[in-house]
Structure 1
């Protein structure tokens, strides 16, 4: 190959005489929905040394992720950029640090197929300096699809291995306009950088081809285009749609002297303008102005003698070119009516049945929203509990003008605290309050049939910090995804206005698992406020209610559910464990009810007060206050309990199976909140040796608390109520107290001495 001389004249050899890499993969952008780690993992796994990776990391999350990978892989260079840096500026910053002869821009949300960097590097090594762009194929994925090959293969196949001028093959412009499927020669990029640094990727991708002297093609995918849910992205101002017209007018000026390219671009402009008009819910004045601008461009830039397509498409184009707005709207209305009639015929029976069933609810939706009404629910209508209960309690204090109504199942209604206004699902009043409430608060989701009124506010509080995969992230794990209706899940999360978070980890994972436009409230979990407000008397009172005698050590054992098991399987021999822990230790067991009846092998331990079944005890926060230590496996209770700064022991006898079948967001065994035991003997030894509360355990717990108790400082409920119900701005809310400056509730040992 005759590339060595050209390589040195363009980039020069690296210091020390090493030759510059053939290819620089320029990863750029923020760590959108946590996708950057997957991309860098795949690049790190590539054994080929002739490719460098430059990460133009936008924001702290992207920088942290990139620096962790760069510390392991010397081929990676990190360029940290401030939060909010646009894509164009990020690409420019990454290209400035790149030393490769060719540049492959990959957005941080996207991916690179296995082996693609080497394939691309080998192909560009063959190309002369007269070639400016290597156009590749790509695969694409959305939330419900994975790795679908694009339709560009036929266009790429026409070029084969030859190089072409864009005007020789205008259909190249019809390939999906992504910068990631256009690998560009570094010298060419820098020569045109001012024009190509636009944030508008479609413009840059098309301009690259229009500016190129010659183009080569590669029929293999070099990009994994991950499409984000439009509902998860900022909606933008309606007037921003005008940029579609401006984009194509700028591009048409570039192609003005090349008729073949001009004609293809014109067709693309008209198609995209009509699509934007049809698919964007634009306010009437904006829609009319967009149509006017598109019509003006269509008339001004139409190539001489250009025939319109036949049929319906030709009619649409003719109306656009004549700026016949009213006629076009009439055509749209007629077309929608035809589709609606066909749909009604197909589903008529089901729709009539649903209308009869929901007519009372629908009628209630026509009444004005009650600004003083809030509906609360927790754990699928189980009762007054968790974060919603803590929010309701603070609401009564700070906003007593808002009346709370709880949705509680008929089975649990008798357990509702006296004086609590509540409704039973399916009742007439249940439908009325759901329809008229200004505020709807839940730690799971309201039923699918609940309608999100424009002036209502939906507050999602969640009920734990995610270790296991949640939401859409369960799609890859059949055991977890079994029975889940993901389209319905997305419809439910699209109703959220606010999502409460206890830590940055949760905020990021919710954005990934539940991609929608809600506002994240990084205020802490309201249910954890009690861990800072409870007194010594409160701790002793709970222990007395549980029958824990003074001087005894209470260990709360709270295992989690396993999706891969058909039923609940005890993972500990509690008889043996209780014997090993000794008579001065009480096991508080919260989980599936087991070993019941007079013949239970635990009967004598229960009679001696050494095992207490607290599976039905609520609230769980009181159990945490009563316990000297927590033993759990992968339950989110560990994140809440860590607020108390008391010992936590992880019993992880099946970690590999759980992580493989359920999916996890981080390696708990590498970042535990305390000592880890893999067998029951190890667990018993942790307590027998005192390791459960030694200095090493304390250091692990401190790091865990800093990361996962980040916003929990005892004033979370106040921040949520002030922000959501009283409308106070973020800057007016009580600031979060740093972890090291907080004082948790006293431990049982401390409480006994006060």
Structure 2
């Protein structure tokens, strides 16, 4: 008996079934079976062309989702069932996460415990439902976080009766974000077999003996464009009232669950009434029936929310349709007035700012003032940070001021002089500074004064197409204003480069009259100046036990994805690589505000989420090897002359959508893996550090670490801030004469 049956059901809607089955084929599990309840010939043919182990249950066109789920479940032999619609997706490793968590739950449960309506209060009631997190994909965005993670995390890992974890009713009502114990499903199959999926999802929680959580993403909900689906009739909105009334009927003598469900019902009924443009007769019937439901099911002693929401609830319970419509109209008028007032305030604020900025621009430039910023005002980081540090050493008379966002100001090193974007001091500082240094671009409103110097440091070596070269790649160019970009690059006086490849690409992607500084990337100086003690200290701060091999996994951003979902089954990779290996996992900074799917994935210290760890150079010093896809971190890490493995599972997609400057598959820095199995084998066989990998890395270093030798920051400071001629600068050492920082193994010898 397998631990898990993944039941894929439904028609091959908009062709998404192929992608779903491909992901399952790529990560097969001995303890899981895949059953496809294929609706229609297209779905049947698609399922039949995949893994021969896949069980295909052919169903006629027009079979509803509920009947398809039931047909799939009838063929299932797993202890647990995971229903996944054919339009949805599964992140890499999702079945493994579910298998491991349900096996853990089975081991803890009391043998022979029965599920049933009275089970929530029964001693030894089994865990019948496992809830996990999910991401949502639309026709415009990919992998947006759900918001359920905080609810799952708050409940924790213990299996609890719903009355002790009623907040779980607030999670998205999907069958795809929960696994059901097979015996529990069969005990309630008749009730759960309904085309109203939200009802079935909530009813499963209400009927469960206990509910357990997994605060990790194991499902991808795909929201189809409404215009591509059959339209709903206005009367269909009335089914929402029936759903909630049926669910509330299951909450007798369960106060906590009833309270949460009641609040959800009133919220959803009010929103539907307000936002759906229902014909007046339907709207009146909806409001009348919603009013009756709100009164009928209101828990004893229930308190309405305060403010406008409370007024809405009160009018709904009173059935005051006409007054509610008048209340809506008044609110719209009030919101429009507030919006107009905010707009006028913004216009006044902009005028005041412009006046203050113009006045500041009329004052002389301060020759001893330098402004630094990095990564859209995130803080002290990257090339600007290395330059500022060297400037303090070589030219302490030049005052250094950082631009940092309000939310990141608290993270600055103590004593850092800084300004907050948009403030009066910000504009006055920018207007008066002699030197402006950035690794991206200053806002378009910043004026380039004739006697100021703009230093563009960049923040990586370009593999992907940049600047004007993105024009032919819509996924990369989305939202870019190329005319504004050209205006910003026209302000540059200097552009820092780490190698001649970058110099050529910058001059092509950013055509302007700036001077290229072939001095190396200042942030990479540390790879030649760090000592054995620095390497040991970096590993100690990360909690890497002595003797362990640390592998840094740092993938890049994809323009066709909205959130970070690991492309590797990290838990499986850690298992295969063994106890002696720890994975340092770093999501791209574009996803800094997203809920991390890595939360809770630490296992005996072998997986560490370092997405928020700064500086990244310290992570590189601590790592024995790097695994990346197309991130520019590979060019920096190559300075250390340590093994690099490229994980290129979607190279063709990336190359097509983003565009690249060279073929990484032919000019890679060590080894290349196209699947997780290949990646695992590279490490298990030792190929990651064999002679051929070293040879490829040496060629890569010669080409892309051309100017990095540990003195880049000094050359930049002397050339830009001290005005020394090019011929007076420290010459770049040839690669064969450089000595990188010690490896972790050397540092502990």
Q: TM-score band (shorter)?
A: 0.5 to 0.7
Alignment correspondent of 1:77: none
Q: What is the match of residue 652 of structure 1?
A: 648
Question: Under a length normalisation based on structure 1, what TM-score does the superposition of the two structures give?
Answer: 0.52
1:508 corresponds, among 492, 504, 507, to: 504
**Whole-angstrom distance in 2 between the partners of 1:568 and 1:653:** 16
Task: Name the counterpart of 1:279.
Answer: none
Q: Distance in 2 between matches of 1:370 and 1:505?
A: 36
In 1, Cα distance between equivalents of 2:595 and 2:384: 35
Map of 1:674-685 to 2, 5 A cutoff?
Answer: 674-685=670-681
The residue aligned with 2:586 is 590
SS in 1 for 2:545: coil
How far apart, CA to CA, are the structure 2 residues paired with 1:597 and 1:709?
A: 35
Let me know the Cα RMSD of the aligned residues. 2.1
- The aligned residue for residue 366 of structure 1 is 362
1:357, CA displacement in angstroms?
Answer: 3.6
Matched, 1:749 2:745: yes
User: For residues 245-256 of structure 1, what are the structure 2 equivalents within 5 Å?
Assistant: none
What is the 5 A alignment of 1:299-310? none
Give yes or no for contact 1:554–1:627 (8 Å, CA) kept in 2. Answer: yes
Tell me if 1:546 matches 2:536.
no
Per the alignment, residue 616 of structure 1 pairs with 612
Deviation of 1:567 (Å): 3.1
Give the CA deviation at 1:353.
8.2
Q: What are the residue-to-residue correspondences of 1:567-716 with 2, within 5 Å?
A: 567-591=563-587, 603=600, 606-716=602-712
d(CA) in 2 for partners of 1:631 and 1:493?
33
Residue 449 of structure 2 is matched in structure 1 by 453
Q: Distance in 2 between matches of 1:389 and 1:454?
A: 25
Q: Deviations over 1:309-360 (max 9, x none)?
A: xxxxxxxxxxxxxxxxxxxxxxxxxxxxxxxxxxxxxxxx999985444110
Q: Is the 1:524–1:711 contact (alpha carbons within 8 Å) kept by the matching residues of 2? A: yes
- Which residue in 2 is equivalent to 1:177? none
Task: Indicate conservation of the 8 Å contact 1:469/1:664, yes or no.
Answer: yes
Q: Which residue of 709, 718, 724 maps to 2:720?
A: 724
Equivalent residue runs for 1:110-189 within 5 Å: none
CA distance in 1: counterparts of 2:434 and 2:604, whole angstroms: 52
Change (3 A) 1:601 1:427: closer
Aligned match for 2:515, one of 514, 519, 523 = 519
1:529 is the counterpart of 2:558: no
Distance in 2, Cα, partners of 1:357 & 1:749 = 55
- Correspondence 1:563 to 2:543: no
The answer on whether the counterparts of 2:670 and 2:694 sit within 8 Å (CA) in structure 1 is yes
Distance 1:601 1:499, change over 3 A: closer
> In the aligned structure 2, how far is the partner of 1:566 from the partner of 1:727?
44
| Secondary structure at the counterpart of residue 406 of structure 2 | coil
Counterpart for residue 396 of structure 2: 400
**1:401-457 alpha-carbon deviations (Å, 9 max, x no partner):** 100000000000000000110010111111111000000000000000000000000
SS at match of 2:462: coil
Structure 1 position 565, deviation (Å): 2.2
Instruction: Name the SS for the 1:698 alignment partner.
Output: helix
Cα distance, 1:606 vs structure 2: 1.6
Distance 1:457 1:693, change over 3 A: same
Per the TM alignment, residue 564 of structure 1 is displaced from its structure 2 partner at its CA by 1.5
Provide the rounded CA distance (Å) in 1 between the counterparts of 2:353 and 2:530.
47
Alignment of 1:1-20 (within 5 A): none
Distance in 2 separating the partners of 1:570 and 1:444: 26
Contact in 2 for aligned 1:575/1:601 (Cα 8 Å):
no
How far apart in 1 are the matches of 2:605 and 2:562?
31
**Matches for 1:53-72 after TM superposition, within 5 Å:** none
Matched, 1:414 2:377: no
1:434 to 2:430 alignment: yes
Match of 1:146 in 2: none
Assess if the C-alpha contact under 8 Å between 1:633 and 1:650 holds in 2.
Answer: yes
Following superposition, the deviation at residue 568 of structure 1 comes to 2.8
Shift of the alpha carbon at 1:569? 3.0
Structure 1 residue 602 displacement after superposition:
7.7
- Mapped to 2, the partners of 1:352 and 1:411 lie a distance apart of 25
Alpha-carbon offset, residue 570 of structure 1? 2.0
Offset, 1:558: 0.1
- TM-score normalized with structure 2 length: 0.52
| Pairing 1:471-482 to 2, within 5 Å after superposition | 471-482=467-478
Partners of 1:518 and 1:559 in 2: how far apart? 31
Confirm or deny: 8 A CA contact 2:564 2:587 kept in the other structure: no
TM alignment of 1:231-380, pairs within 5 A = 355-380=351-376
Deviations 1:690-737 (A, max 9, x none): 000000000000000000000000000000000000000000000000
Contact between 1:575 and 1:602, CA under 8 Å: does it hold in 2? no
Please state how far the C-alpha of 1:610 moved relative to its aligned partner. Answer: 0.2
Count of residue pairs brought into register by the alignment: 403
Distance 1:353 1:408 in 2: 21
For the residue of structure 1 that corresponds to 2:437, the secondary structure is: strand
Which string of whole-angstrom CA distances, capped at 9 and with x for unpartnered residues, describes residues 228-249 of structure 1? Answer: xxxxxxxxxxxxxxxxxxxxxx
Q: CA deviation at 1:607?
A: 4.2
The 3-state SS of whatever aligns with 2:719 is helix
2:468–2:510 Cα contact (<8 Å) kept: yes
How many Å separate the matches in 1 of 2:479 and 2:431? 28
| 2:311 alignment partner in structure 1 | none
Distance 1:569 1:350, change over 3 A: closer
Structure 2 unaligned regions, length at least 5? 1-344
Conserved 8 A contact 1:556-1:587: yes
1:491 aligns with 2:487: yes
1:394–1:717 contact (8 Å) kept in structure 2: yes
CA distance in 2, matches of 1:549, 1:508: 43
Deviates more, 1:460-469 or 1:558-567: 558-567
Matched residue SS, 1:411: helix
